[in-house]
């Protein structure tokens, strides 16, 4: 091996270390900022895209989070849909169908609960662990963009979750989930208020 190859390898190693440090710093910043949040509320816009058919539906609603494990997503009229997480219990309504789950006994619903709750509360590493996912972090103007990519090939659950956290507040402003059957859900938050309760 000549000196040029050694130098190239060394530079590549340093770049990898710097990238890893930057990623860890971003995740630590997000976790630290969110640890100071006892409650959060915002409006959200939900865009649901069926990749196979191209069908797109857009709805909106209000999101409420109270630490450590209470999250509600209540859709605006005329929709009566909702998703409510209280500890291990998750209640859902979509259309005329209502369901209630004990996520401690339902692995698929536990995955949904954990990804939503942990990502909203800035616990990215825990969200990745619960989804058996790899983490990558990129910098964008005003945001840390965090991508969780599942290591598991399955017909159900999330294959990818993309999260945008503010570089100033550390708060989640956008979440895009891709479900295995190619359903993409984009949630865009606005009017975010923290620690109001």
Query: What's the whole-model pTM score?
Result: 0.86
pLDDT for the residue numbered 14: 41
Surface-to-core class of residue 184, CB atoms within 10 Å of its CB (0-12 exposed, 13-18 middle, 19+ buried): middle
The CATH number of the domain holding residue 58 is 2.50.20.10
| Full residue range of the structural domain in which residue 187 is found | 3-194
Strand, helix or coil for residue 156: coil
pLDDT for the residue numbered 196: 86
pLDDT along the chain (197 residues), means of 10: 54 45 91 96 96 92 97 94 97 94 92 93 94 93 95 78 97 93 92 92
63-68: long-range pairs with CB below 8 Å, 24+: 63/120, 63/189, 64/39, 64/40, 65/37, 65/39, 65/40, 65/41, 65/120, 65/121, 66/38, 66/39, 66/197, 67/37, 67/38, 67/39, 67/121, 68/121
pLDDT for the residue numbered 151: 86
Half-sphere exposure of 90 (CA within 13 A, CB side): 23
Look at the chain and report how many structural domains it folds into. Answer: 1
Q: How far is CA 3 from CA 6, 13, 14, 156, in A?
A: 5, 15, 16, 50
DSSP 8-state symbol, 11: H
């Amino acid at each position: 091996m000549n000196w040029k190859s050694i130098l190239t390898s060394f530079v590549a190693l340093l770049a990898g270390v710097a990238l890893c440090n930057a990623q860890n710093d971003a995740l630590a910043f997000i976790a630290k900022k969110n640890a100071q949040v006892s409650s959060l509320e915002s409006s959200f816009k939900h865009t649901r895209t069926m990749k196979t058919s191209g069908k797109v539906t857009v709805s909106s609603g209000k999101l409420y989070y109270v630490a450590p494990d209470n999250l509600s997503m209540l859709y605006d009229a005329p929709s009566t849909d909702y998703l409510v997480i209280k500890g291990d219990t998750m209640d859902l309504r979509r259309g005329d169908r209502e369901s209630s789950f004990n996520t401690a006994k339902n692995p698929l619903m536990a995955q949904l609960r954990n990804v939503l709750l942990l990502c909203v509360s800035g616990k990215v590493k825990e969200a990745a662990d619960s989804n058996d996912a790899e983490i990558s972090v990129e910098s964008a103007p005003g945001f840390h963009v965090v991508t969780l990519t599942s290591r598991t090939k399955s017909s159900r659950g999330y294959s990818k979750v993309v999260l945008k956290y503010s570089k100033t507040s550390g708060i989640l402003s956008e979440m895009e989930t891709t479900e295995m059957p190619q359903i993409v859900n984009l949630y865009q938050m606005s009017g975010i208020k923290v620690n109001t309760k």
